[in-house]
Amino acid sequence: MLVICPNCRSKNIGIIGPEQYYCWDCFIELSVQNNMLHLHEVEMDGSLSSLDDLFSDEERRVER
């Protein structure tokens, strides 16, 4: 599966776990559930803040 970051359109994506990815260009985490990307910003304390509300469902949909 080819994952493209919906935030910066980069293909420079690393795998950090099952269905979990990291964009090395804009530094956000992406996870896939039910063919939808869920995007998170990693905060200074290591917690995650959701960025899903910044993108439409169409932008977050993953084709397998």
Average pLDDT over residues 31-42: 94
| Residue 26: burial class (beta carbons within 10 Å; 0-12, 13-18, 19+) | middle
Backbone dihedral angles phi then psi of residue 17, each to the nearest 5 degrees? 175, 180
What is the separation of C-alpha 16 from the centre of its chain, rounded to a whole number of angstroms? 11
Checking if the pLDDT of 64 tops 80, the result is: no
**pLDDT on residue 41:** 94
**pLDDT on residue 22:** 95
Other CB atoms within 10 A of residue 32 CB: 17
- The model carries a pTM of 0.83
**pLDDT on residue 3:** 84
Q: Which residues contact 15 (CB under 8 A, 6 or more apart)?
A: 21, 22
pLDDT band at 30, cuts 50/70/90?
very high
H/E stretch holding 17 = strand 13-17
